[in-house]
Amino acid sequence: MRRQPTLEHCIVARIMKTLRTYPHVVVRKRHGTAMGVAGDPDLYGTINGGHFEIEVKRPNDPSSQLTKLQEQRLQEWAAGGSIVGVARCVHDALQILGLVRPEPRVRWTCESCRRYTWEGAYAPARCPNCGHRHFDKQVVAA
Ligand SMILES: [Zn+2]
């Protein structure tokens, strides 16, 4: 059975739900009507008084791309000083709005043998060299 790609409106709903948890963000879905401008992005709103426009595309679907008109509309909004971007997931939208910080890089060194180091958000369960379970933590970059 062919896996169905996630529908665009599902992503839109998830993005809106997440953005609504931020008190300094107001987000609206733009409904395509005869009164609207063709090609305008799916979502718009404000973050701390800064206007944003986000076009939503389906994740993992190369056929889901901006049309020429959508690209042009995004450029118009950007030229007017708006924050603009294309989101394929909630994380993309948060990134466009500057709501995600990069994960700090942490280096873990085995306390016992000192020969095993590991970089990641969490310490490994045990050292593959000596089996020790405790690691020294060192933040490499914020
Ligand atoms: Zn060790």
Query: How many CB atoms within 10 Å of residue 103?
Result: 10
Closest CA to 74 of 35, 98, 32, 40: 40
What local confidence, expressed as pLDDT, does residue 86 receive? 96
Answer yes or no: is 3 within a domain: no
Question: Do 112 and 71 share a structural domain?
Answer: no
pLDDT digits (tens, 9 = 90+) for 26-37: 999 998 777 778
Question: What's the rounded mean pLDDT across residues 52-66?
Answer: 89
Tell me, in angstroms, the distance from the centre of ligand 1 to residue 135's CA: 9
**Which residues are found with C-beta within 5 Å of the ion, ligand 1?**
110, 112-113, 116, 127, 129-130, 132
pLDDT tens digits, residue range 91-124? 999 999 999 876 677 899 999 999 999 988 788 8
Residue 2 pLDDT > 70: no
Residue 4 DSSP code: P
Cα of 123 from ligand 1 centre, angstroms: 12
Domain span at residue 114 reads 105-141
| Average predicted confidence (pLDDT) for the chain | 90
CA of 118 to the centre of ligand 1 (A): 11
Return the pLDDT at 32: 73
| 141 Cα–ligand 1 center, Å | 23
What is the pLDDT confidence band of residue 142, given thresholds at 50, 70 and 90? low
| pLDDT at residue 1 is higher than 60 | no
Whether residue 22 is found in the same domain as residue 71: yes
Question: Residue 142 Cα, ligand 1 centroid: separation in angstroms?
Answer: 26
Looking at residue 133, what is its pLDDT? 94
- Over range 74-88, report the average pLDDT: 96
52 and 111 housed in the same domain = no
- Strands in the chain per DSSP E: 25-29, 43-47, 50-56, 83-87, 105-110, 117-119, 135-141
Distance CA 18, CA 85 (A): 17
> How far is 96 from 93, CA to CA, in rounded Å?
5
Distance 40 CA to ligand 1 centre (A): 57
pLDDT at residue 100, as a whole number: 87
CA 85 / ligand 1 centre spacing (Å)? 45
Do 20 and 76 sit in the same domain of this protein? yes
Q: What is the mean pLDDT of residues 121-131?
A: 90
CB atoms within 10 A of CB 40: 17
CA of 97 to the centre of ligand 1 (A): 42
* Total number of domains constituting the chain: 2
